[in-house]
Amino acid sequence: MRIQHNIMAMNSYRNYTNNTKAVSKNLEKLSSGYRINRAGDDAAGLAISEKMRAQITGLKTAEKNAKDGISLVQTAEGALTEVHSMLNRMAELADQSANGTYDNEVDRANLQKEVSALNTEIDRIADSSNFNGIKLLDGSLAGGAKGSGMIGSTKVSFELGVKDATIFGANEAKVTFADGAAVDKGINVAFDDGTGAMTITLGTKTAETYSADQITAAVRAAAASYAGGATTNAAAIGKAYAGFTMNADGPMSAAAGGSLTMAQATMTDGTGEGLTLQIGDTAETFNKLSVSVGDMHTASLGINLVDVGTQAGASDAIAKIKNAINSVSSTRGDLGATQNRLDHTINNLSVMRENIQDAESSIRDVDVAEEMMAYTKNNILVQSAQAMLAQANQAPQGVLQLLQ
């Protein structure tokens, strides 16, 4: 019998210490609700869980972004509802004025007053409609393309508000400017169907000088006569060009036949000033949604100059107003499609977030029933180790019997 080292007590103490640590971990997991409280609990599980948590947070935020997008779309569409109502009233007034039973100076003049007032209100709505300070109907969300290039030694910058490139055909539109009685300054503007590319050719027989205003007017006139033929299509104007700007230090000069093809210039189709929504948890393009709303000013709709003050003017106004109604209808249809898409996006994000949350929970969260079983077992072992430690400490006292 030895008294210097009580091996039985040391063994009991070691087991007591291990059981106490196990009980401590059981209590930590049960009190926190997590199976993994530190990397030492499960390093691989912690890494996977944290990655899932980042994805869950991203999906939750994307869902909120999509809801904000729906609110923006609803705001724009709500404003266009009233624009539609006013356009329908204008169509009624134009039909009324086109009837031969009215007098120009009194009856049609009064009808024109209401038309003018409605035009003013449409422009006011286009200017004032906004969501969180973001203008919705003034053309700033028209989308489109931007580009730049050189004609001669002059830099030309283009800002095309092409909403749908398919409205352009493969025809050419020619605009001429008369200089005196004999000289024509011809400018040819051609659009490539479906690509957004535009070619401007200065078609003079001899070197001529063009101002920035002349080129701008040529492109706008070409866009106005596009979309399905040589006749002016007001709806196409609204969808086609939000702007065309020239960065020129002076007049534009080019030799005969000088041209700039936008496909050869710096240009990105479909990336104008439209609004982009982040509807996913990553930065890939498929997790972004562009929202485009055309310019709803009366000039873009082609009705700013309608005049129902004469019977002929009223007849002409009917077609222009109908085209404007079609343009607004198309825009509202696009907004409705966007809203429906966002509704489905929100549903998908919600389901995805729920499933990933479930997967993360199975890795990170504690199974309370299982942990309670382990706690009960370890707690009994602690008490048993305490009792055995007490017994082991009593064993060396038997030596005293030998010394009597």
DSSP-based three-state secondary structure for 142: coil
What is the Cα–Cα distance from 255 to 319, expressed in whole angstroms? Answer: 41
Phi/psi at 135 (nearest 5 deg)? -65, 135
Q: What are the pLDDT digits (tens) for 207-231?
A: 345 554 555 555 555 555 443 333 3
* Lookup result for tokens 């779309």: 73
Q: List pLDDT tens digits, range 23-66.
A: 999 999 999 999 999 898 899 999 999 999 999 999 999 999 99
DSSP 213-264: HHHHHHHHHHHHT-SSSSS--HHHHHHH-S------SS-EEE-TT-EEETTT
Convert the pLDDT of each residue in 139-169 to its tens digit: 778 754 444 444 444 444 444 443 333 333 3
Q: Please give the CATH topology (third level) of the domain spanning 49-138+295-357.
A: f41 fragment of flagellin, N-terminal domain (1.20.1330)
Per-residue pLDDT, averaged over 328-350, amounts to 93
Mean pLDDT of 293-302: 86
- How far, in Å, CA of 128 to CA of 122, rounded? 10
293-297, 308-312, 374-378: the lowest-pLDDT one: 293-297
Q: Is 88 helix (H, G, I), strand (E, B) or coil?
A: helix
Q: What's the half-sphere exposure (Cβ side, CA atoms, 13 Å) at 366?
A: 22
Say if CB 188 and CB 261 are below 8 A apart.
no
pLDDT bin (cut points 50, 70, 90) of residue 285 is confident
CA distances from 396 to 5, 13, 312, 387 (A): 9, 16, 125, 16
Q: What is the b/e burial string over 304-321, where b = at least 16 CB atoms within 10 angstroms of the residue's CB?
A: bebbbbbeebbebbbbbb
Which among 222, 276, 228, 263 is positioned nearest to 244, based on CA atoms? 222
Straight-line distance from the first to the last Cα atom of the chain, in angstroms, rounded to the nearest whole number: 15
| pLDDT tier, 241 (very low <50, low <70, confident <90, very high otherwise) | very low
- The pTM for the full model equals 0.63
The beta strand positions in 241-338, using DSSP E, are 252-254, 259-261, 266-268, 275-278, 288-291
Return the residue matching tokens 């051609």. 190
Measured CA to CA, the distance from residue 293 to residue 93 in angstroms comes to: 27
> What residues does each domain of the chain span?
49-138+295-357, 145-272
pLDDT at 263 over 60: no
Distances (CA, A) of 214 to 77, 179, 188, 226, 369: 36, 12, 12, 18, 81
**What angle in degrees, to the nearest 10, is found between the helix axes of 368-394 and 7-32?**
160
Sheet holding 183-191, edge to edge: 172-179, 183-191, 198-202, 259-261
Q: pLDDT value at position 89? A: 95
DSSP string, 159-198: EE--S-GGG--S-EEEEEEEETTTEEEEEEEEE-TTT--E
Q: What are the CA-CA distances from residue 276 to residues 145, 160, 241, 288 (Å)? A: 15, 18, 20, 6
Q: Measured between alpha carbons, how far is residue 345 from residues 67, 290, 332, 333, 352 in Å?
A: 10, 14, 20, 18, 10
Which tokens hold the place of 259?
């041209």
What confidence score (pLDDT) does residue 386 get? 93
* Spatial separation of the C-alpha atoms in residues 182 and 191, rounded to whole Å: 29
pLDDT at 267: 34
Please choose, from the candidates 213, 209, 210, 238, the residue with its C-alpha nearest in 3D space to the C-alpha of residue 224. Answer: 238
Phi/psi class of residue 400: alpha, beta or left (left: φ > 0; alpha: ψ in -120 to 50)?
A: alpha
